[in-house]
Amino acid sequence: MRRRRFVTALAATPAANALLGQQPGRTDEASKLTTISPDAAALAVPRFFSAAQLGALKNLCQILLPSMNGNPGAAEAGAAEFLDFLIGVSPLERQTLYRKGLDTLEADAKRKYSKPFAELSAAEADPLLKPHLAQWTFDPPKDPMKHFLTAIRADVRTATMNSREWASAASSGSRRRRGGGGVGLYWHPVDPTRAL
Amino acid sequence: MAKKIYDVLIVGSGHSGGMAAHTLTEKGVSCLMLNAGPVADFEKDRTTKAAHELPYRGFGKPGEHPHIFQANEFNANTWVNEKEAPYSHDKDAPYNWVRVRLLGGRSLFWARQSFRLSDYEFKAADHDGFGDNWPIGLADLDPFYSRVEAQFKVVGRKEGWKQFPDGNFVSGPAGASADSECVKRLTAAAQKMGYGVSRMRAAMGDGGLASSVNLCLPGAVETGKLDIVPNAVVREIKIDRNTGKAAGVCFVERHSRREMEAYAKVVVLAAGTLESTRLLLNSGICNSSGALGRYLFDQQYGATVVAAMPEAMNGKARPGMIGGGVFIPRFQNLDQSRKLNFLRGYAMPMGTGSSPDAKYFPAYGAELQKLLDTYAGACIQGGIYGEVLPRKENHVRIHKTGRDAWGIPTLHIEARYSENERLMAQHAADTMEEMYKSAGFELLVKSTAVNPPGYSIHELGTARMGDNPKTSVLNRWNQSHDIKNIFVVDGASFVTGGWQNPTMTILALSMRASEYLAEQLKKGEL
């Protein structure tokens, strides 16, 4: 305790910088170095959905938003892998909506085609998906499958159109532009409250 | 340090607080402004980024802002963190309380739509028998509106309609550009139905910013009469037991949690409707009427109707065919001989030439893309700005156990929309559908849903003004009936709100109250 008090008092003295390590006067050098995002160098590791759910999710994402007009589709954008992360850190209600929705599609695929949803073609998936499409309303549909399909249609578009791959395609002169990959004015945390 | 006593202590720095500081300091009154949050630096605190550079690809951290539908990952750090500053509502009655605590508050981010209330709102009870009138009318506020409109550089087109009072407009884009063919057809269809069509009225401000931080506070600081303390979370108003008057406030320094007191001859609350009322409730004052916290209302923005102009579909739009907006102010229930099945009224803002949101089509894959291509740039999107009735049962109260990060008791909000709001939304959607069809447009989406209360970010009432101290909290000068040296100059003072964005009225009321306050101070009445 006495030692802790001593260290605290020491840190408050002007000489502390010399004792506590390097405190560079110039900080502009590091900011000039070019860095890349983790997605540009590595692959995300899915951790939330089961193997069957993830398989169904990957195929569903690709069916909902395939590559079109020179733009990457959900598969190229890693939308399913990103959603695995996003839903994994979402409130339980959202997690349940996705898990139950994917489980239902998997069960429907096995019942109708005797194979997992992950192996269905778009034409085979249509009869399983179209009955669950709902006209847009301000509040989400009460039917869980309609709610799920409404949510994932929007989420897949956002995950794809806000991806690094989409931004690269949008900025490429040889490809048809469809949005700028979600460029915006980002607000940093402004003097956030310090925990005591 | 010697005890410093200011003439006026202002809690809050948004439009209402900024205008109070501007008006008071101009008259030589010394002011202290306390703001709960920090000062934002528009250069340092903002960066242009691509969504894929953000941790959640633009989705935002899940669950971070459950009540703020306007939040996204780009602006997430500007809103009040609900974990630090929580509030509660009944599970079956959600309320979206959207707050900003940066210096300047919500004036940093508002949509700048600038309208006056009319006597259809000020004297609403005379007109339809519901609720109460304001103790003031348009004539009382007219000179203040004019000065505010000049200060905020409001543009608009004069119409001469009683329910849509003209302002002291500066020349600008709102009345300048030529109508597109689409707008002309929409206008003709509206006029055939008995609706007048105008243009949006908006504050141009300076460089597109019409905020307290650039239009009110700099001038006040320049006088040398204003001190601003950021990061001061006000706990309660301190009452002098000998005089029964306010002596200042107790506040908590946001980072250190140090408890402090500041002193003034007069306290002006401008913390935003519900924060000002929360402060009065937590102080246990200004409620001899029992009206404090009651008559909470806002405006409904839910109903949406989207259509497409057939001639502009499939990329066939040519210059002058589509684009621009129209604004249809309230035309309902103006003539009492033609009563509808709801009270009051709504306005309809409409934009043309947009592309549809993918969510509007129950489709996916190539089929969806084809639809998006077909309707790209050909859409007309209309919405509602609808009046919400001020009802006593919609209220806020202090939660029995809830505390924020600074140990200050939190609010419980209990507000529900009624059948009147639902019928109004239905009427608006039906009207827009009829208008679109009459103009020869193809209907794509029609939603009659009402949004959760609070969604419009126009919460009003809870410390309403009135001439009768038994039924109102404030008098006609935004001054407490109970404690004469307390003023509330934000939206809490509203008696009705109409459909109009309340900012111009808040600014005008704050200016008017502040001039009165300065006079009273001079006379030694406070």
Number of domains composing chain B: 1
Are the Cβ atoms of B59 and A154 closer than 8 angstroms? no
The pLDDT of residue A1: 45
Among partner residues B77, B361, B369, which is closest to A187 by beta-carbon distance? B77
Residue A49 belongs to some domain of the structure:
yes
Of B372, B266, B396, B313, the residue nearest B6 (C-alpha): B266
Distance CA A125, CA A110 (A): 11
Residue A125 belongs to some domain of the structure:
yes
Total Cβ atoms within 10 A of residue A71? 23
- Copy the structure tokens of residue B469: 């101290």
Whether chain A has a CB inside 8 Å of the CB on B37: the answer is yes
Are the Cβ atoms of A136 and B360 closer than 8 angstroms? yes
CATH number at residue B304: 3.50.50.60
Q: Which domain holds residue A140?
A: 42-168
pLDDT in tens, B54-80: 999 999 999 999 999 999 999 999 999
* Cβ atoms of B10 and B20 closer than 8 Å: yes
Average pLDDT in chain A: 86
Spans of chain B, pLDDT less than 70: 172-176
Whether chain B has a CB inside 8 Å of the CB on A144: the answer is no
Number of domains composing chain A: 1
Among partner residues A134, A162, A187, which is closest to B57 by beta-carbon distance? A162
For the cut 60, the answer to whether the pLDDT of residue A175 exceeds it is no
C-alpha torsion angle, residues B479, B224, B108, B49 (rounded to 10)? -160
Residue A18 belongs to some domain of the structure:
no
Q: Which domain holds residue B164?
A: 5-523
Q: Where are the beta strands (DSSP E) in chain A?
A: 183-187
pLDDT in tens, A107-133: 999 999 999 999 999 999 999 999 999
The pLDDT of residue A10: 45
The pLDDT of residue A195: 67
Whether chain B has a CB inside 8 Å of the CB on A42: the answer is no
pLDDT in tens, B449-470: 999 999 999 999 999 999 999 9
The pLDDT of residue A173: 53
* Cβ atoms of B8 and B500 closer than 8 Å: no
Helix (H/G/I), strand (E/B), else coil: B100: coil
Residue A141 belongs to some domain of the structure:
yes
Are the Cβ atoms of B449 and A193 closer than 8 angstroms? no
- Helices H / strands E in chain A, number of each: 9, 1
The pLDDT of residue A27: 61
Are the Cβ atoms of A182 and B47 closer than 8 angstroms? no
Residue A111 belongs to some domain of the structure:
yes
Distance CA B83, CA B86 (A): 6
Residue A2 belongs to some domain of the structure:
no
For the cut 60, the answer to whether the pLDDT of residue A2 exceeds it is no
Residue A104 belongs to some domain of the structure:
yes
Distance CA B41, CA B213 (A): 11
For the cut 80, the answer to whether the pLDDT of residue A79 exceeds it is yes
Residue A31 belongs to some domain of the structure:
no
pLDDT in tens, A25-62: 666 677 778 888 888 888 889 999 999 999 999 999 99
